[in-house]
Structure 1
Amino acid sequence: MAMDDRTVASALYRAVAIIDPVLDVLAARDPLGLKARTHRTATADDSVVDKVLGALASALNATDFPGTEAWEKLDSDARSDWWVARIGALNTVAVAFPGVFGVLMNRLPLQDLLGFANQAMVLVAVAREAGVTDRSAHVQLLASALCEREIDPSAPDTPEAEEEPKPERGWGPFALLRAMWDVASVLRDVSSELAKRPHSRAVFRMISAIPLVGGVASYFGERGALSRAAEQGRRWVADHETIPTARLSK
């Protein structure tokens, strides 16, 4: 039975309610003060701790991580690309992992769930870098780019999503992967929509059915699918310049 727009919008709204906070954490948290160090000139402190922290800060800065000095020098397009290349690539490892089991695991919905969740997280990040922070706009974006649906802006009428307790998010790759899993759990309610997202090219899907090498093929296939999803997201944002840019109250 086909799902109505309201059901899809409700699930996507709950997914975005998970995605937004974790992106905020990645962008703003600085528990060791490493991001702040990248904005300061080197000091004469020769302590071992200071040298270690300085080296870690330099390494973080080299990745253009949000909040670092290098990040501040990037324009919006480069920041958008960062989320696809860095965070998307990390999440894709988890998406591709079931492929090492070959066709048996590919028959299960886990890979599509995680793939959809990964693309949703990156699309929201891309939209945010373009100045689109309204949660309803994020729902419309995901519905259009990943579900091939053009939904009404008022469709995600889900006040219960705001009332659900939000778990405290940590900082780092494990928090990101945990958030992707949480998003995938929410999206089980709209499992019939998962097949509509951008998928791996046919050649990668064929190779992914082979045990052991399937994981490698799945990874490169999902990376390509993620890039296409991000491009669809950019086009959607460009075509909807009049959408609100202020985040909804929480």
Structure 2
Amino acid sequence: MVADAIPDRVIVAILRPFVRATRPVLDGLREADPFGLHTRAAGHQDVPVEERGLRDKVLDALAAVELPGTPAWAAMDVPARTRWWVRRVGRFTTLIAAVPGLGGALANRLPVSKAVGAAGQGMLLVAIAGEHGVRDEDELVNLLGAVLFRRDLAVSTATATENAAADARAAELTGDLAKPSTTPTLAKVARAVWRLGRALFAVEDELDKRPHGNVLHEGLGMLPVVGVVGKYLGEWSGLKKAAREAEARLAKPSR
């Protein structure tokens, strides 16, 4: 009875804007190609190395790095990209929690590991789904509901009123990152992640169902001083579990 205390429609109303707010961050990391790195390999094959300037050499080196938008990224398979996202999201969210000031006033009002961990897992699920070619909002809401809340949500097509409300809420969560003219910075992305965490805290009790670390992590997290280490390790473990669950679900044939 307790597990069903919060209606599906409430969970869906929270996850819709969360998914929409996550997209500008993840799409920017995945698809932005400001230096033309994605096409550099093909365009420079016939140009002798000694004839390339310093700028070209630097960009050629960057094109070989496994980052979204580069030839190296395009050559990676889906499991490899998933591992990249786990490392990227895990390290980034840990940094947000560890560096004072990045979270702003929100960091003083929310439990660090729980807020950042919830937002990080949600971001990761959307990123992994994107690598599997899943961008449909209803499918993403279903995925987040299943992994984060252990709920088989009844997701119906949003009405015009629900869409308007979701767009407005997503704009609040994303902030300046949604503007095409905005250059993402660590502080701006960090604040957006904190706002995403705050959004999920509207159903705080449900978040205890999401993937967590093991008993060792929980025990370490209760100790003085080193407790924060235990919490981080637990969130890192939970992040990897969430990724495995998402991969398993996305690998199943669509009904």
- TM-score under structure 2 length normalisation: 0.77
Name the CA distance, whole Å, in 2 between partners of 1:57 and 1:161: 41
Which of 50, 57, 67 is the aligned partner of 1:65?
Answer: 67
The answer to whether the aligner puts 1:162 opposite 2:174 as a matched pair is no
Runs of 4+ displaced beyond 4 Å: 32-40, 42-48, 95-98, 172-175
TM superposition shift of 1:37:
4.5
> Structure 2 regions of 5+ residues with no counterpart?
101-106, 178-182
TM superposition shift of 1:58:
2.3
Which of 195, 215, 225 is the aligned partner of 1:202?
Answer: 215
Deviations 1:163-205 (A, max 9, x none): 4546332336545433321211211221121111111211112
> Structure 1 regions of 5+ residues with no counterpart?
99-104, 243-250
The answer to whether the aligner puts 1:79 opposite 2:87 as a matched pair is no
Larger CA deviation: 87-96 vs 24-33: 87-96
Matches within 5 A, 1:93-132: 93-95=95-97, 109-132=111-134
Name the CA distance, whole Å, in 1 between partners of 2:38 and 2:89: 17
Name the CA distance, whole Å, in 1 between partners of 2:122 and 2:247: 13
TM superposition shift of 1:156:
5.8
- TM-score under structure 1 length normalisation: 0.78
Larger CA deviation: 137-146 vs 188-197: 188-197
Name the CA distance, whole Å, in 2 between partners of 1:60 and 1:215: 37
Assess if the C-alpha contact under 8 Å between 1:200 and 1:224 holds in 2.
yes
Deviations 1:117-172 (A, max 9, x none): 10010011111111111011100000001101001121765311124546332336
Corresponding residue number in structure 2 for 1:102: none
Name the CA distance, whole Å, in 2 between partners of 1:90 and 1:224: 15
Name the CA distance, whole Å, in 2 between partners of 1:12 and 1:57: 40
**Aligned with 2:153: secondary structure?**
coil
The structure with higher relative contact order (CA 8 Å, sep 6+) is 1
The answer to whether the aligner puts 1:18 opposite 2:21 as a matched pair is yes
Letter in 1 for 2:154: D
Corresponding residue number in structure 2 for 1:185: 198
Which of 223, 231, 244 is the aligned partner of 1:218?
Answer: 231
Assess if the C-alpha contact under 8 Å between 1:39 and 1:68 holds in 2.
no
Deviations 1:23-47 (A, max 9, x none): 1111222345555556653754665
Corresponding residue number in structure 1 for 2:142: 140
**Aligned with 1:67: secondary structure?**
coil
Number of residue equivalences? 231
Q: Report sequence identity in percent.
A: 33
